[in-house]
Every structure is written in structure tokens, then in C-alpha cells.
Structure 1
Amino acid sequence: METNSNFNWKDHISIVDSSLNAEAIANVIKVDTEMLAHMDDLQDRVQADLTKFQPVIVAQFTPGGGKFTLVRDEYGEEARYTVEPVARLFYMAKSIAHAPLGIFGCFGPYSTDPKNQGWRAPMEDYRNVLAKALSTIDDIDVEKGYQIDDRLKRKLVMDLNNVTGQFDDAPPHLDEDTVVPHVIKVMKDLLKSSIDFVDNTAFQLSDDESPAEVFQKWCNMTSDDKDNPDDTLYKLIVQSQVIAASTQQLGISTLMQTWRDTFSEEDWANLYVIVQGEWVTRKLNSIAQCILPEMADGEEALDEHLLIVTNLTDVDPALHFLARILEDRSAAAMILTDHSQPRDDLSGQVDLLGPVMQDVVCPHMSAANKAPETGDSCPH
């Protein structure tokens, strides 16, 4: 058999090298992909056993003030209890407090072009929604409609008197006999003010004017009238917010106390809470603020046993997320033991590369000068 004596393997060595190179790279990358597979398996196993070792509460935001699911171990089996504890007054007060925002939404798309009067049709539609709410609000039963009981009355008296005093040093003016009529009056006055603005200000503008400027003036009106603590839109909005917040706080804290009484102190200390939120509610989350005082460690529980998480929409994804956090914390406790890098860099919200990246991006900054928690940054 003849061979080609002119064939030179050196001219084709790149073919061999390329194949070996790709295989070697794949072998190295597999270290990470296999790690992820094993960690995913661990996460599933942790979730399966999660409530055998600690109770979990998953708090979901709802327009009505929140839905809460307690997941606990009962005789070796997982049990779930779901409650929506907030009185309906919360949703109504919050809904009416949003009336000015609804007006803004009508003209907002046209505010940069005053000659475009496209805002008038949606504004008229929304004005009719406000008017219908106002015309029927007196038909709502206090106890069954608003769900206002004696405990909520006392809570509203305390909080509304406190807030109106902060407005303009107005003395306490509400008691348990007058607070419900006042609550209804606040909501009706806010609706009336919104309708009045639309009818007598916005719709009176000429066809080459936008309501943006007059809307801002309406929102920013001020008054220090001690005898009338709800005489401006701002005061009406704030009082509606207080009504909603007081209602939500009482409902959630009462539920938490009820559940707490069913546990030993040791078991309650092991409680984890997942609050499902959005980016816009991540800070000073209202549900988290109601829950924290009822947890074993109070404010210290935030980010340790109470986690506010975005992009979760149900109970099982929340439990899966918690399993990930717990497995990461366990790994961090073993891997980052006596070193300077905090364990939270592996098991918290800090990117594991973050502190090292800061050294790379800003090498001239000493460790003593780094304070990412305060917002300090490298001036480059």
C-alpha cells in the first residue's frame, strides 16, 4: 500500500489540538454544572424536610391586605392553614386614597403636549367611577361591609387622633362614638374633592392647556386650620392611609398572635417568614412591619428569619426559595469559617464576587474606607 510521502501531520496538528482543547474546557466547566445539579438536589431534599424542623409563614400581597399561609408539622405530616385576616375597610380606604393617582393616570400620557386633549375622555370616564362610588358609599353596612368591630374602632381612634395632631397641632377630636362617621366622611370628602377638581378645574381648562399644573396645585394646597383637620387633599389622603394601615396592622398582628399561641417558645423562635413583594415595596414593606414585632427576635429577625422576596407568586416557590437560603447558609458556615469574608456573602444578598470586585474596581480604597451598606462608592 502506497503512502503519500508528502503528507505533513504538522500542517494538520490544529485539528487535534482543537478537539482536545474543547474537551478540556468542557471538563473544567462541568465542575460548575455538576455543582449546580448537586445543589439543586440538595435544595429539593431540604424543601421536603423543611417544616419538620421549623414552621414557615408565607405572606402574599393581595389588594385586600394580604393572604397568609402557615406551613407546619403535625404528627409527622405537613399541614397548611391559609387566612386573609384584614378587614375590608383596608381595601376601601386604600382604593379611595388612590383617586388622585387615577386622575393623574388619565392626563399623564398627554401632559407633555398641552394641545393634545385626549385626556378628556378617560378623565370623564374616571370621574363617573368616582361619582358612582360617592353615590353608593352610604349603602355599605358598617359591620358587614367595612368589617369594623370594637377593637378596630379603638385602634382607629388612637391612630387618627395622633396623625391629625401632627398636621397642625389639632387636639384629639375622635372617640369610639364618632370615629366611624369620621372615617366615612374622610372617604366621601376625598371623593368629593376629586370630582370637584375634575368638574370645576380640569374640565374648565381651555383646549390648549394641560391639567398638570393645576393638578399639582390642588395636591399641594396647605392649611393650618386646627378646627378642620381634613380640609385639604393631602390631609384626606394621609388619613385614608392611616385608616388602611391601622386596619391592616390590627388584622395581621392579631393573626400572628393567634398562631404564636399554638407553638412553644422554642418552636416559634425557629419560625421563618417569606413575604412576597415587589421591587417597589421592598423597603418599609407594610406586611413585614406588621409581622416583625410578633417574631421571637423582633426587628433582628429581618433578613435572618423574615425574608422579603420579589418575583414569587405562591407558597411552594416560597418554600423552594427558603430551602435555597438555608442550604447556602449551611455551606457558608462550613466554607467561610475563620476568614475575613463575611458568611453573608455566600448566603445573603451580597454578590459573592461583590467585595472582591470592589477591590478590583477601586484598588486604591482601603478596606477601612469601604462602606457599601452606607452607599459610599469609589470616585474612580
Structure 2
Amino acid sequence: MRSSGDHAARSSHHWWKRQPRETKDRTQGMVTRRAFIDATSAVGATALLGATSAAAGATTAPSAAGVTHDEARARDAIRAANVGMRAGYAALKSELSTRLSPVIVVQNDATGGRFTLVRDGSPRETVRPVPELFELAKSISHVPQGIFSILAAYISPTVPRLPNADRIDPHDLELVAFERPGSGGWSDPLQRYAATLTTARRQLVRANLPGELEHSCRQILDASLAYIGIAVSSGTCDTASFQRYSARVYPSIRTNMEYAAAAQISGVEGLMREWRARIGEERWRDLYTVVLSIWTTSELNQASIIIRRCMNPAKVATHLIDLSTVEVPHDPVAVALDNLARIVVDNVSAETVLPTDPVVADAFKGREDLLSVEILRQLGPTAGAAPSASPSTKEPTCPIRKE
């Protein structure tokens, strides 16, 4: 199997060979990459040096930190070297992002995910492959969380005497339970949610769900409506009674989870087989997959678990990228390709710029900060931290096992 470096080199060679001489610098209204680097360097340096020099020139006396005017100018000149580096890096990354291929970008969502196939830097096809059953099963499973979200602010901020009390952080509970207990502000919102659940319960039989799934959804809805009725009529809500209710519906939630997982597996694996046949085995071996998800679901991500089985086993550790986001990006494909371009550039530059220190090179290539190795070395064994394992050495295992 050819290396990714050889593949990149050959791809670059063929691209240049195919282009007419007058288009090799991406003319016709587009600046050349060299011009872009030079212009960006100049603008960046001017902005940096101008702002800093103006501040330094406001007085000829040494600054409060003891830095003279000449020292400030000299330090600005040093910083300009980094401005130039960043300009060149940005240009390389930007151009590379238009050449990445093949790539699958996955944006997780409530329907099982949006999958986009990218070839030569351009999205070719976007599909939602997961059957609707996934969304329906999860929708009813989320009902207890919906009830809790309404009640949480009004429960007691004191950790209750419950079997799992030691697992509840007292400070976290105080932050969540920010309303005055007993104020009753939860009653109207809860009754409105009950109306939504009542409609779902009445329509459930018409949804044409598998018998077992329909039964589990009915149990969750019935128990939820009964709990809401008692809470509203008594005018009280507390953690203990909610936990008794949630424990009763949990077996039904697990049934829904089984149906949702089976639907996602069948949908995603079916799409992977289709795209693999279309791309061809040779190119599929070099496939990159970028899965975007919010931080709370980025570890053992459901899409990643399925997709890794469909990728080249020799490269899955480095070519399957779980990208954690703060919120759903406006353009998931652009975000994925920009980050993937950075990863690919760093993979090559780490071994080229830092060829004599594999440990630091691995930090450069991975998710560690480049200085993390040196900081840990200086802090010593009492630092209480260690470099995280690289993706190539981490094999996830599922914490939930079916008995």
C-alpha cells in the first residue's frame, strides 16, 4: 500500500502536469498562492508592527515594564517572523482544503446524522441514511429528560438521601436548582408538556411502529403522564419521587435504545457500502472521515463507532477524526475540511520540521499542545498529569454492555 506522503506527492505532480502553463498560478481573477502569502505577510506585519510601534512611540521614556523604544521595535521585528509563518501556513491549509479526497463529513443530529461525501475538496452528495425509526424511538426515550428540564430549577438544592447521592455533585445541584423550592413556577410548563405527551399517546397506534417498540413507548408515555398528574395535583416536586418514576420507565427506554441503535447501524453501514463501491477499493483505503459532534457526545460517538468498522483498519486510528464543537456549525463541511487540512499539514510537517524528536513530533501531530511535553517535563511527576494517549493507541470500549 502506498504511503499518504507518496499519494500526496503523486497527486500534486499530476495536477501540475494537467494544467496549462498560464493557469498553474490559478489566474483569471485569482491571486497566486505566492502572492497571497506575500500580501498576507505584509498586511499582517504592518498591522502588528504599526499598532505596536505607535504605542511605543507615544513616549520615548522606558515603559513600565522597562522596555525601551528600540527594544519594542526589535521585539516587533521578531514577532513579524511568526506573522509570516502564519500567513504561509494559512495559505497552504486553505489550498489543501480544496484538494482533500475522499472525505466523508458527518454532522450528528436528532435524525441520525447528515453524511456528506467530498471528493477533490467539493461536496458531491449529502444523505440522511438513518431510518426514521431512530428519531421516533429516541423522541419518546427523551420524555423523562423533558420533564426533568422543567422541574430541575425548582427541586431542593440539598443532595437528598438516595442510593446514588454520592454521585451528585452538591455544587452542581445548587447551580441547577436556582429557583425557590415550592414556588410552583413549574406547574404550567409541565401541564403544557403533558398536553404534548397526551397527543403523542393518542396518535401512537397510528405511527405503525414495531409491536415491541410501540409497547415500550406506550409504557413511557403512560408512566410520564401519571407522574405529571400526581405532581400537579399535589403541587410538589422532589428528586426522590422523580427518581422512582424514572427507574420505572428505564427498562422501556432500553428497549427504545435497542431499536434506535439497530436503525442507525443498518442505515450508516448501508450508505458506507454504497459509497465504497462507488469510490473503489484503492481510494477507499485512504478515506478520511470527520465526525462533528458537540462535546458531550464526542467520546464514543455513535456514528464513529459504526464507521470505523467500514474503514481501512490500518488507517482508521489516524483517518477517523472526531471533531468536538461548542455548537452545531453553520457550515459543517467547511469546518470539517478546514480542520482536516490542518491535521494533514501537521502530520507531514511534524515529521519534517521535527525529525529528531518523535515524542514532540507526535504532540505536534496529535491533540496535545506542542509545549505540553516540555511543560510536563519541567513540572515533574508531581504535576498530576500525563500526555494523553495518541488516537493511534486508544481503542474505545463501550461502557454499556447488554447482559
Superposed displacement of residue 265, structure 1: 2.2
Question: 2:201 maps to which residue?
Answer: 134
In the superposition, relative to structure 1, how do residues 14 and 310 fare at CA in structure 2: closer, same or farther (>3 Å)? closer
Equivalent pair of 2:93/2:341 in contact (CA under 8 Å)? yes
**Pick aligned residue for 1:92 from 127, 136, 147:** 136
Kindly tell me: are residues 361 and 371 of structure 1, through their superposed partners in 2, closer, same or farther at Cα, counting changes over 3 Å?
closer
Could you tell me how far 1:370 is from its partner in structure 2? 7.4
- Residue by residue over 1:135-166, the C-alpha shift from the partner in whole angstroms, topping out at 9 and shown as x without a partner, is 112222x3xxx6xxxxxxxxxxxxxxxxxxxx
Does residue 1:333 correspond to 2:351, yes or no? yes
| Equivalent residue, structure 2, for 1:150 | none
* Paired residue type of 1:35: M
SS of equivalent to 1:276: strand
Looking at structure 2, the residues matched to 14 and 87 of structure 1 have their Cα atoms a distance apart, in angstroms, of 69
| Aligned partners of 1:90 and 1:243 also within 8 Å | yes
2:152 to 93, 96, 108: 108
Distance 1:203 1:336 in 2: 66
> Helix, strand or coil: the match of 1:130?
helix
**Native 8 Å contact 2:114 2:126 kept in 1:** yes
Distance, in Å, in 2 between the alignment partners of 1:110 and 1:355 is: 46
The answer to whether the 8 Å contact 2:105/2:290 transfers is yes
2:240 aligned partner? 213
Q: Could you say if the C-alpha distance between residues 340 and 46 of structure 1 is closer, same or farther in structure 2, counting changes exceeding 3 Å?
A: closer
For residues 200-254 of structure 1, give each alpha carbon's deviation from its aligned partner in whole angstroms, at most 9, with x where no partner exists.
Answer: x32243x4x433220012223xxxxxxxxxxx31101111111111111110111
Aligned to 2:80: 30
Answer yes or no: is the 8 Å Cα contact 2:360–2:373 preserved in 1. Answer: no
1:195: Cα distance to partner?
Answer: 0.7
Q: Does 1:301 align with 2:330?
A: no
User: How far is 1:189 from its partner?
Assistant: 1.4
Aligned to 2:107: 60
Shift in Å at residue 106 of structure 1? Answer: 1.3
Please state if 1:252 is matched with 2:288. no
Letter in 1 for 2:240: E
Aligned CA-pair RMSD? 2.3
Pair 1:50 & 2:100 matched: yes
Q: 2:68 matched to 1:18?
A: yes
Alignment counterpart, residue 292 of structure 1, candidates 289, 292, 308 = 308
Tell me which stretches of 4 or more aligned residues in structure 1 moved more than 6 Å.
Answer: none
User: Are 1:321 and 2:336 counterparts?
Assistant: no
Amino acid at match of 1:211: D
Distance 1:40 1:79 in 2: 21
Q: Secondary structure at the match of 1:261?
A: helix
Pick the aligned partner of 1:185 from 211, 215, 220.
215
Q: Return the letter of the residue paired with 1:273.
A: T
| 1:50-91 deviations in Å (ceiling 9; x for gaps) | 23xxx0000011211111000124xxx945111111111111
**8 Å CA contact retained: 1:107, 1:212:** no
- In 2: Cα distance, 1:295 partner to 1:357 partner: 36
Give the TM-score normalised by structure 2: 0.70
> Residue by residue, what CA displacement relative to the aligned partner does 1:105-157 show, whole Å, maximum 9, x if unpaired?
111111134321111111111111111101112222x3xxx6xxxxxxxxxxx
In the aligned structure 2, how far is the partner of 1:13 from the partner of 1:124? 70
CA–CA distance in 1 between the matches of 2:205 and 2:199?
11
Q: 2:107, 2:291 within 8 Å by CA — same for their partners in 1?
A: yes
Q: CA deviation at 1:335?
A: 1.9
Alignment partners' CA distance in 2, 1:339 and 1:283: 29
Matched, 1:202 2:249: no
1:67 counterpart letter in structure 2: R
Q: Is the 8 A contact 1:86 1:250 kept in 2?
A: yes
**Contact 2:368/2:388 (<8 A) preserved:** no
SS at match of 1:324: helix
Letter in 2 for 1:97: S
TM-score, structure 1 as length reference: 0.74
Structure 2: how far apart are the matches of 1:357 and 1:185? 56
1:363 Cα deviation after fit = 6.3
1:237: which partner in 2? 253
| 1:355 equivalent in alignment to 2:373 | yes
Counterpart CA distance in 2 for 1:248 and 1:363 is: 44
Does structure 2 retain, via aligned residues, the 8 Å contact 1:202–1:214? no
- Whether the aligned pair in 2 keeps the contact of 1:202 and 1:211 (CA below 8 Å) is no
Contact 2:272 2:310 in 1 (8 A): yes
Q: Which has the larger radius of gyration?
A: 1
Instruction: List runs of 5+ in structure 2 lacking aligned partners.
Output: 1-59, 157-179, 390-403
> 1:269-284 alignment to 2 at 5 Å?
269-284=285-300
| Alpha-carbon separation, structure 2, partners of 1:105 and 1:325 | 38
Matches of 2:386 and 2:254 in 1, distance apart? 35
Q: Is the 8 A contact 1:87 1:248 kept in 2?
A: yes
Given that 1:56 and 1:271 are in contact with CA atoms closer than 8 Å, whether structure 2 keeps it comes out as: yes
- Residue 212 of structure 1 aligns to which amino acid in structure 2? T
Letter paired with 1:327: V
Residue aligned with 2:104, SS? strand
Cα deviation code 1:257-297 (max 9, x no counterpart):
11111233221110000101110011110011111100011
Structure 1 CA distance for aligned equivalents of residues 221 and 307 of structure 2: 32
